[in-house]
Amino acid sequence: MKEDGSEQDRRTIELIESIASQVRGAIESGLLPAIRTPTRSLENVSYNKKAGYLELGKKEQVRALTVNTARAFAQTLRLMAASRAMVASNDFATKREAYYISKNWGDCRFDEQAESDAIMDDIEAIASLHGLSRENLRFYPESHGGSVAGRLVIVDKSAATGETIEIDCARLGVGAYSIPRSAEHLAFRTDARFILAIETGGMFQRLNNHRFWERAQCIIVEMGGVPTRATRRFIRLLSDRHDLPVYCFVDCDPYGFTNIYRTLKAGSGNAAHVNRFLCVPRAQFLGVTPQDIIDFGLEDATHPLTPVDIKRAKDALRNDPFIVAHPRWVAAIKQLLDMGVRAEQQALAKWGLNYVIDEYLPRKLSEVSGFLP
């Protein structure tokens, strides 16, 4: 991923043209054309402990042209053609827009977005085997990324003039930089020591207003719950290119552990073909941990685990390949189940609004080796 945007664009067009050539070649030879796509179902997904994420296996399916598949086959080719055109014109389409542009495709128009999404996933899975992401194909997610502030200069380029634009994330006041839907073309300058990925917007605003990133020499990112695709890709690129550890600061509950943190770090099973681009294997769990509830005296600012919490925790202990592979996570989740309570990151406000800045984060950051994996 160190290559620049134009090199990725060249490879994207090359890939699309090579598939199109194969199809055309088959037709011209009087053969029925076929397109091979990686199988995306869970049976073809496993946790690669070394790489640190859930990944696709080698199983493939072949979409051959038949009477039954003619429509989907044509739709696949048209979506690839749309992708090629967008790369050439430096444009993009959201998944929803991609669905609508088909309305002019006559008989092969999509009737529902579920159809175009499924075909887009197939194309994305093919591209992923060539190191190209859906953003390279110019299909962008609808949701923007979270907010960013701190010791980071983002280097972008004016679409109109080609002029370099630098955004200093230490000079945005109490506002922040809103991560765009594709970060592929961005470059970064930073002297930060780490990235702090924060679950809630309120906590992000607190750390930003008090310029926590200045004294801790870091970059803060608001995830706003489960991080969107754009947020994950942004953190991944920044962490990779500048060799920055990523510390996660989320609620102490099964949702925080297995949905927010695990998604950021290891990806999710039903989108295994994209994890190699999106997940952040270097992420570590700063807190709030079950042990923190004891160490920081938060017992009376907790809430009982709900039945959903308990089910989610037990499911993770049984079935989550990431959790199962990490004995310290298994122990932490068992400890939480024994304690029977959950704690939000805001619970630290019990000791004063800025206890989190003055006490909690400095103490935790002084012992990074204690972070959960």
> Which residues carry out catalysis?
100
Is 214 a binding residue for a copy of itself by CB under 8 A? The answer is yes
Long-range Cβ contacts of 26-33 (<8 Å, 24+ apart): 32/64, 32/65, 32/66, 33/64, 33/65, 33/73
Residue indicated by tokens 């299909």: 139
Q: Which residues face 295 on adjacent strands?
A: none
For residue 45, the cross-strand partners are 56
- What per-residue string of b and e applies to 165-187 under the rule 16 or more CB within 10 Å gives b? eeeebeeeeeebbebbbbbbbbe
Using the contact rule CB under 8 A, the part of the chain among 19-27, 66-74, 127-135, 155-163 near a copy of itself is 155-163
294 binds a copy of itself (CB under 8 A): no
Q: Does residue 106 touch a copy of itself according to CB under 8 A?
A: no
Between residues 101 and 310, which has the closer beta carbon with respect to a copy of itself? 101
Instruction: Provide, rounded to whole angstroms, the least separation between the CB of residue 252 and a copy of itself.
Output: 14
Judge whether 341 and 303 are in contact, CB under 8 Å: yes
Residue 119 in contact with a copy of itself, rule: CB under 8 A: no
Q: What is the rounded distance in angstroms from the CA atom of residue 318 to the CA atom of residue 368?
A: 28
Nearest CB to a copy of itself, comparing residues 54 and 82: 82
Q: Using the rule CB under 8 A, which residue among 71, 78, 144, 326 binds a copy of itself?
A: 144
The answer to whether 46 contacts a copy of itself (rule: CB under 8 A) is no
Check residue 103 for interaction with a copy of itself (CB under 8 A).
Answer: yes
Q: Is 200 in the site for a copy of itself (CB under 8 A)?
A: yes
Establish if 153 lies at the interface with a copy of itself (CB under 8 A).
no
- Of positions 23, 120, 179, 316, contacts a copy of itself by CB under 8 A: 179
Q: Is residue 344 a contact point for a copy of itself (CB under 8 A)?
A: yes
Token code pair at residue 350: 């019990």
Of 45, 229, 222, give the one whose Cα is nearest residue 133. Answer: 229
**Side chain identity at 298, as an amino acid letter?**
L
State the angle between helix axes of 5-28 and 70-88 in degrees (0 to 180), rounded to the nearest 10.
Answer: 150
Strands (DSSP E) contained in 234-302 are 246-249, 283-287
- Residue with smaller CB distance to a copy of itself, 11 or 109: 109
Tokens of 289: 């941990």
Specify the residue, 209 or 319, whose C-beta has the smaller distance to a copy of itself: 209
Q: Is 301 in the site for a copy of itself (CB under 8 A)?
A: yes
67 binds a copy of itself (CB under 8 A): no
Residues forming the site for a copy of itself (CB under 8 A): 86, 91-94, 96-97, 99-101, 103-104, 140, 142-144, 147, 154, 156-160, 165, 167, 171-182, 186, 200-202, 204-206, 208-211, 214, 222, 224, 300-301, 344, 346-354
